[in-house]
Structure 1
Amino acid sequence: MENIAVIYGGISNERDVSLRSGKGVIKALQNKGYQVIPMEYQCHKTLLKELLDKKPDFVYIALHGRYGEDGRIQSLLELLDIPYVGSGVLASALAMNKSLAKKHFEFAGIRVAKEKVYRKRDFSEDRLVEIVNEIESTFNYPVVIKPNEEGSTIGLTIANNRNSLLEGLQLAVTCASDILLEEYIKGVEITVAVLGSDQYIEALPVIEIVPKNDYYDYESKYAPGGSEHIIPARIDESATDTAKKWAVAAHKALGCETYSRVDFIIPETGDPVILEVNTLPGMTETSLFPDAARSVGLPYEDMLEKIVQIAQKKYNK
């Protein structure tokens, strides 16, 4: 392999995080001896021109959110016959659509939260009261409101009453065309990094997330000191084993490749509840996937090289 392009930045609401992930990946791969072509993605046409002009042998996608994790960039690379790190078009699109992904998880025997989905067009003025009444008859407060196809808790609200429910719905419809309502499950938030190929997929140690805010919001995810990552998570052995087993099962259920990160809530009683699968986990200085890798003796640069090597095998490089 002669060179690797790192596509980072993007045009989603998670651009700033992607810039940080991308810069970390570029530096790490350069330190490992790779010839790296940085490609800061700012618009579709310029990215396409750059890919056609520079003809990279391989691509590391360091994007987050729409036009990065949702299968569109993956589709472009496949049309151009350029191999890349990570999950393919279908798995990426499925993981980004939280409601559809949950159907696959449930079919695989993984516990999911009760949900209801509304389309943005449903929120006409004459239907709003009807929808709110329907939500209140389906869920107890608090209730979770979030865009169905966003990441990093963008547009998320945990509503404790009708007023905050209305505010949360108004926020969510500014972010997406589909709105996901879910039951709120109190518990310990954990995440499980998954790494490997079809031959061998492993779950890395479970990380417990302790946010400084009331829940694991955007600031808690990305601001230095925004959350504490505890490895191994302070949960019992049974919950640990189930979370690791289900993380691999969720990865496989969506058809993910190379690596992913699977988020769960450990409730006060019962099995873990899956939240989502991240097909392009963050690679910033505060990110969870690098923390999990370090806990098994894989420093940041070695981890990225291993991810690239696993992905290369898919293309017989």
Structure 2
Amino acid sequence: MTEQIATPQSSVRPRVAVVFGGRSSEHAISCVTAGSVLSAIDREQYDVLPLGITQDGRWAVVADAAERLAIGASGKLPDVTDIAAPTGSVVLAADPTQRDIAVLETGAVTDVLGSVDVVFPLLHGPYGEDGTLQGLLELAGVPYVGSGVLASAVSMDKEYMKRVFVGFGLPVGPYVTIRPRDWERDPAAVRASVAELGFPVFVKPARAGSSMGITKVHEMDAFDEAVETARKHDPKVIVEGMLRGREIECGVLDGPDGPEASVPAEIRVRGDHEFYDFEAKYLDDVTETDVPADLTAEQMAEVRELAVAAFEAMSCEGLARVDFFLLEDGGWVINEVNTMPGFTPVSMYPQMWKATGVEYPQLVDRLIRAALDRPNSLLR
């Protein structure tokens, strides 16, 4: 398996390390995303080094096997362990004077995989999309695709994301944050704060994605259980008031003249799903999408302008997907920013850019080349 990926580094072609999997509850979705990107990277333009992170955090040598990273016909989710070398840990030294990646066995180097020119981090959720991996890459002096430490961390935390938006005068919906000590010391006070939002509410982990751990709560009797469900993913919980309107998304991509917004799209959920949960997103065929969304020219311009404003408020780089509600009164509310959105060809972000005129392989190439041209975060 090692022979499949430890190819000599070309003196001409940049070497791209595609990193995926990870310790978060979004491990499987990261694998699906990586399979699509591995299939799309032009191997005549780049050398590719796939690196998987197992659910217990081991960086592993993995097979360059995009077809094994798809969701199975029976709904079986992919896992890095299925394509990883059974022993050895891949390590990247936090040393900007060299970029060699090595394999360690019982503390000794057994293989050197060579250096990399850029990392494409396709991790979703904590320990990947939240600034932790970005910090390691900054220390190592390795360029990477996507937002830096600050934007990644703040965008991952739904509370602080909303605080930044408010500070920039951008519209957000009503919410209550539940910190661990609040829930443990005075749950009655928490319930009273939530009751002021009115029901239904959405109870969410504050720092998770892919709709993991989210519950729509219609009455207080179901609230405690929803909090505990969210706390399985994150001890910090956020409760958002119900917003009645249409779910609109918009992609943002860095360009030579600054960030650009794609045409927006709309998502609708059919059947028994009350909202766009994990099963609706990835397993059940219950969603309908309009790309582009059926909006007036004025609404189209408004949402694209707001998407870029949200991207810049967060100091994002590379790419982001901004999710909105178009309220019944015609107003806009920003729901969240995803600094590493779902990135398969059928995911909303690539679909929106395809409708804007950027095909999937071109999108992948553009992100890699932008990262190669970008200096360390403290220099930009």
Q: TM-score, normalised by structure 1?
A: 0.93
Whether the 8 Å contact between 1:223 and 1:286 is mirrored in structure 2 is no
Secondary structure of the structure 1 residue equivalent to 2:142: coil
Correspondent of 1:66 among 126, 146, 151 = 126
Question: Are 2:269 and 1:256 equivalent residues in the alignment?
Answer: no
Count of residue pairs brought into register by the alignment: 314
1:237-316 alignment, distance < 5 Å: 237-315=297-375
Consecutive unaligned residues of structure 2, counting only runs of 5 or more, are 1-12, 61-88, 93-100, 103-112
Decide which moves more: 4-13 or 48-57. Answer: 48-57
- Identical columns (%): 33
1:77-226 alignment, distance < 5 Å: 77-124=137-184, 127-136=186-195, 138-197=196-255, 199-212=257-270, 213-223=273-283, 225-226=285-286
Shift of the 163–194 alpha-carbon distance from structure 1 to 2, 3 Å rule, reads same
Secondary structure of the structure 1 residue equivalent to 2:325: strand
What is the deviation of 1:224? 6.2
Shift of the 106–270 alpha-carbon distance from structure 1 to 2, 3 Å rule, reads farther
Q: Which has the higher contact order (CA 8 A, sep 6+)?
A: 1
Shift of the 226–18 alpha-carbon distance from structure 1 to 2, 3 Å rule, reads farther
Decide which moves more: 291-300 or 28-37. Answer: 28-37
Secondary structure of the structure 1 residue equivalent to 2:288: strand
More helix by share: 1
Deviations 1:136-187 (A, max 9, x none): 1x21111121111111111111211112222211211222121111211011
In 2: Cα distance, 1:168 partner to 1:232 partner: 34
Q: Which amino acid aligns with 1:102?
A: K
Secondary structure of the structure 1 residue equivalent to 2:319: strand
2:90 corresponds to: 49
Whether the 8 Å contact between 1:17 and 1:284 is mirrored in structure 2 is no
In 1: Cα distance, 2:242 partner to 2:362 partner: 38
What is the deviation of 1:121? 2.5
In 1: Cα distance, 2:197 partner to 2:375 partner: 47
Whether the 8 Å contact between 2:244 and 2:328 is mirrored in structure 1 is yes
Whether the 8 Å contact between 2:203 and 2:239 is mirrored in structure 1 is yes
Shift of the 230–99 alpha-carbon distance from structure 1 to 2, 3 Å rule, reads same
Q: TM-score, normalised by structure 2?
A: 0.78
In 1: Cα distance, 2:169 partner to 2:329 partner: 18
Q: Which amino acid aligns with 2:262?
A: L
Shift of the 172–17 alpha-carbon distance from structure 1 to 2, 3 Å rule, reads same
Deviations 1:82-113 (A, max 9, x none): 11000000110010011111111122221101
